[in-house]
Structure 1
Amino acid sequence: MLGEDSPVLTVLHSVDQPPDLERIEKYATIRYTDETGLTQALPGADALFVYDFLSTALPGAWHAADRLSWVHIASAGVDPVLFPGLRDSDVTLTNSRGVFDDAIAEYVLGVILAFAKDFARSLRLQEAARWQHRETERVAGQHVMVMGTGPIGRAIARMLRAVGMRVSGVGRTRRENDPDFGVVHPSTELVEHLPEADYVVAVAPLTEQTKGAFDARAFAAMKPTARFVNVGRGELVITKDLIAALRSQQIAGAALDVFDVEPLPSDSPLWMMQNVLVSAHMSGDVIGWRNILVERFIENFERWRTRQPLHNVVDKQLGYVPSPAV
């Protein structure tokens, strides 16, 4: 329930980076805190805005949450806040689904083109002032398998189909004649269908079912010419198995935006591999993205304070916002 007067909103932000919530200050008592003060900022709070979406402080402070009815996280992934205490409570959880879809799709198209057109080698040759004529690959007609059939996966599928690539999906259940993927294979058959793909894109949410899905067995099933792209969660991958597959040329390359340990340690061999593209968890972070995240929260806050149904309500047992039937 909301407070008898104005509701109390706690905002968890990183150090010296609180969001601009001036527009709603007249409607709520706002407590800004970084993770060191979260335990003190939760008692009496009706809602929590997890603006620092990488923070893992909430489980340790959960005992102080004595009046929460709503938690909103400024990301599409909810694994940092989906711990047993929140999952088993009556607290509603919402996320920022929809903000990153097209930006991440553009990133995926970009790294696929970078592999096909061998841009990394072109840059190395340019730095060495070395002229070397080469032939490159077409992307049209190549088969991309996308694990994760939510909004981001669908945006990726639409963008890749627009440049002539063949796309299939991997999701919870089998589907035929899907408008974006054509065929969706059940995740239980991932390894069985990996040999069909020239590119494999991981964008699935992190759940008990998807954690570690890309292991030695999965990489061994892929074509030696295939490339792997991870824009989902680092924990979808067994990193040591990926490194071994790259070193032994079981797969041809990888573009990695997320890692099981972030920042990626400086001694990781992934940094120095010429067939690997590394980016710093930024595939969806386009200019103005933080402002968009705040706007999405404010839209939901207005619905919450006026007791309208919230957008992007997470099924806490599944670990993501269910997509409507297509």
Structure 2
Amino acid sequence: MTDSRPAAEDAITVLIHDPESDHYVSMIRRRFPDIRVLCAKDAQFLQCHVPEADIILTSPSRFPVRLFEKARRLRWVQTTVAGVEAFLPIRDRMSDLIVTNARGIHGELIADFVMTGIGMMQWDFPGLMREQSRKEWRPRCVPPLAERTLGVVGLGSVGAAIARRGKSAGMTIIGSKRDVSEAIAGVDRLVPPHGLPELLQLSDFIVLAVPHLPETTRLIGREQLQLMRRSAFLINIARGSVVAESELIEALQAGTIAGALLDVFEREPLPVDSPLWTMPNVIVAPHVAGYPSDYTARVFEIFGENLQRFIEKRPLRNVVDLNRGY
């Protein structure tokens, strides 16, 4: 599918490469009728038309990065997700491009997911449901969340949203962040990355909300899990690579930690033979925490504003520093 209008020399051309491309095309044409839109639904069309694009709207994991060499007019890449790790190996070749992401659309929904999971683990809802299936009546006492400490590793837009929600539940919040020079709303104690051991030792629930970077790969392994309280729970909504999965499985089996809520894994879909599927102290989710039902519309809010800014030659929102990786 392509725009039937001829490409004027000074016309701005947007190339869309995304499973929801038809929706994006419709929204762009309604708001920006003078913009030329190309919709690449197959590899051949993409390869043929990428040299015409001034702007590309895509997901980094889906876009063949080798095609950037053909994108001679390209000035700006808007991603439909927050993570840009697929671009990092070629960031030197992208130094002349503006890259913007979908940061900000995931935080509140992921915070919903995390707080729901914390409640489920605090009251052991999986155990309650197993008892219900067996018609067992087993009362027990549970301390309030306001007596619990939540550790948030990574305080970007997602981590900050989680911290605010935890604080609204009365929890004590410890957060880890590269730059600790400025306070974060709702965070009682802020530690730099080298303060991670302290955060692990003091927290009842630990949420991983860091980007995928070389320094966050296998951030949590056997050594870190042993620092956690035996009553503590690990929640991973970052990337599967952040946790050494086999070492987490060992810790869960040994009772080193109480349990885990996992939305991301080293391999996705999670292999059917993974022990995580059937462990009584694990809640498995299929990478759903950050995908609201109106995801495409939320992405377009960012892209539409940025496209207007691009036309008016104003600075764009959500610019990514590829040297930092986020």
| 8 Å Cα contact 2:28-2:304 kept in structure 1 | yes
Cα-to-partner distance string for 1:286-311 (whole Å, 9 max, x where unaligned): 22222212222122112112212100
Alpha-carbon RMSD across the aligned residues, in angstroms, is 2.1
Q: Which residue of 1 aligns with 2:123?
A: 117
Q: Which residue of 1 aligns with 2:53?
A: 45
Cα-to-partner distance string for 1:65-117 (whole Å, 9 max, x where unaligned): 22211111111222233332466421110011111111111111110000011
- Give the CA deviation at 1:24: 2.6
The answer to which of 35-44 and 266-275 deviates more is 35-44
| 8 Å Cα contact 2:154-2:176 kept in structure 1 | yes
Cα-to-partner distance string for 1:151-205 (whole Å, 9 max, x where unaligned): 2111111110111100011111344754331322111231243111111100011
CA–CA separation in structure 1 for the residues paired with 2:93 and 2:199: 33
CA–CA separation in structure 2 for the residues paired with 1:237 and 1:3: 50
The answer to which of 73-82 and 261-270 deviates more is 73-82
Is residue 2:273 matched to residue 1:273?
no
TM-score (norm 1): 0.90
CA–CA separation in structure 2 for the residues paired with 1:219 and 1:3: 59
Q: Secondary structure at the match of 1:81?
A: helix
The answer to which of 132-141 and 309-318 deviates more is 132-141
Q: Which residue of 2 aligns with 1:28?
A: 35
Q: Which residue of 1 aligns with 2:212?
A: 206
Is residue 2:294 matched to residue 1:288?
yes
CA–CA separation in structure 2 for the residues paired with 1:122 and 1:90: 56
Q: Which residue of 2 aligns with 1:242?
A: 248
- Give the CA deviation at 1:127: 2.4
Aligned residues: 316
1:131 to 127, 137, 147: 137
CA–CA separation in structure 2 for the residues paired with 1:184 and 1:140: 19
- Give the CA deviation at 1:8: 1.6
Identity of aligned pairs, percent? Answer: 32
The answer to which of 96-105 and 122-131 deviates more is 122-131
Summarize the Cα distance change of 1:134–1:144 in structure 2 as closer, same or farther, 3 Å threshold: same
Q: Which of the two has greater helix per residue? A: 2
Matched residue type, 1:57: F
Structure 2, unaligned runs of 5 or more: 1-6
2:188 to 174, 182, 199: 182
TM-score (norm 2): 0.90
Matched residue type, 1:7: I
CA–CA separation in structure 1 for the residues paired with 2:183 and 2:95: 38
Summarize the Cα distance change of 1:278–1:222 in structure 2 as closer, same or farther, 3 Å threshold: same
Q: Secondary structure at the match of 2:23?
A: coil
CA–CA separation in structure 1 for the residues paired with 2:93 and 2:227: 35
Q: Which residue of 2 aligns with 1:263?
A: 269
The answer to which of 185-194 and 19-28 deviates more is 19-28
Matched residue type, 2:28: I
Q: Secondary structure at the match of 2:146?
A: coil
Summarize the Cα distance change of 1:197–1:49 in structure 2 as closer, same or farther, 3 Å threshold: same
Matched residue type, 2:307: F
CA–CA separation in structure 2 for the residues paired with 1:35 and 1:114: 43
Q: Which residue of 1 aligns with 2:165?
A: 159
CA–CA separation in structure 2 for the residues paired with 1:35 and 1:168: 46
| 8 Å Cα contact 2:55-2:74 kept in structure 1 | yes
Structure 1, unaligned runs of 5 or more: 321-326
- Give the CA deviation at 1:227: 0.3
Matched residue type, 2:39: Y
Cα-to-partner distance string for 1:215-255 (whole Å, 9 max, x where unaligned): 11111111111100011111111111111111111111110
2:83 to 60, 77, 83: 77
The answer to which of 122-131 and 300-309 deviates more is 122-131
Is residue 2:14 matched to residue 1:9?
yes
Summarize the Cα distance change of 1:54–1:310 in structure 2 as closer, same or farther, 3 Å threshold: closer
Summarize the Cα distance change of 1:305–1:258 in structure 2 as closer, same or farther, 3 Å threshold: same
| 8 Å Cα contact 2:208-2:235 kept in structure 1 | yes
| 8 Å Cα contact 2:222-2:251 kept in structure 1 | yes
Q: Secondary structure at the match of 2:186?
A: coil
